[in-house]
Amino acid sequence: MKKLLFYVIAIATTLSFSSCGYNGMVDRDEAVKSAWSQVENVYQRRMDLIPNLVNTVKGEANFEKSTLTEITEARASATQTNIKVDNLSPENIAKYQAAQDRLSSTLSRLLVASENYPNLKGNQAFRDLSAELERTENRISIERKNFNDAVADYNKYIRGFPNNLSAGMFGFTPKGYFTAAAGADKAPTVKF
């Protein structure tokens, strides 16, 4: 009788855990981790391009040194801001995004300022690096969207019934999203 009771409890436990969505949560958690690694990959690509771009710009003797210093500092800050894949909380994503946005802003200023330097604009290496940086920024946008899609799928899955009952028990918590940069909702003013 005890063996029968043991088997009934074992079967009931197995069936309850298989219906709690644990495997689905694991699958979606892994999809988020994979998407995050792609985000980091394209940000690293940008980090690798920046020293070459800065060195090319340094060749232009009159170029604003403060802009180059800001880029170097923003790159250092962005490099130091890392998130472990197991801690993709909204707060950590916001910190990571803020560091990356600061770097994006300084790079934009560099490219705008370069318009005032005909020798720099005529430099083939600068043009190639600028084009590569633009392609990388597009990749960043795509990978951030893919990450947000994976997070949305994961968050919906762990919050839906009956998965929400077992998600907390197994340590599955909501992940954070990338959001638009502050002021992105306002169109820039164009003056001629």
From the number of C-beta atoms within 10 Å of its C-beta (0-12, 13-18, 19+), residue 134 rates as exposed
pTM of the model: 0.78
CB-CB neighbours of 151 under 10 Å: 23
Any domain includes 149 = yes
Q: Which domain holds residue 149?
A: 33-167
**Which of the residue ranges 54-63, 101-110, 178-187 would you say has the lowest mean pLDDT?**
178-187
Banded pLDDT at 17 (limits 50, 70, 90): low
Least confident of 11-15, 80-84, 115-119: 11-15
CATH number at residue 142: 1.20.1440.20
Kindly state whether residue 185 falls inside one of the protein's structural domains.
Answer: no
Is 38 a member of any domain? yes
Residue that has been written with the tokens 């949560």 in this structure: 25
Across all residues in the chain, what is the average pLDDT?
Answer: 84
Assess if residue 2 is contained within a domain: no
Q: What does the alpha-carbon distance between residue 161 and residue 60 come to, in Å, rounded to a whole number?
A: 61
> Which burial class, exposed, middle or buried, applies to 28 when counting CB atoms under 10 A from its CB (0-12, 13-18, 19+)?
buried
Instruction: Give the pLDDT confidence score for residue 57 in this predicted structure.
Output: 83
Decide if 18 is inside a domain. no
With a pLDDT cut of 70, the percent of the chain lying above it is 85
- Cα separation, 93 vs 100, whole angstroms: 10
Residue 156 falls within a domain, yes or no? yes
Predicted confidence (pLDDT) per residue in 32-65, tens digit: 999 999 999 999 999 999 998 888 887 775 677 7
Q: What is the number of structural domains in the chain?
A: 1
pLDDT at 188 over 50: no
pLDDT at 110 > cutoff 90? no
Q: Is residue 11 part of a domain?
A: no
State how far the alpha carbon of 1 is from the alpha carbons of 14, 106, 146, 170, in Å. 20, 74, 54, 32
Inside any domain, residue 49 = yes
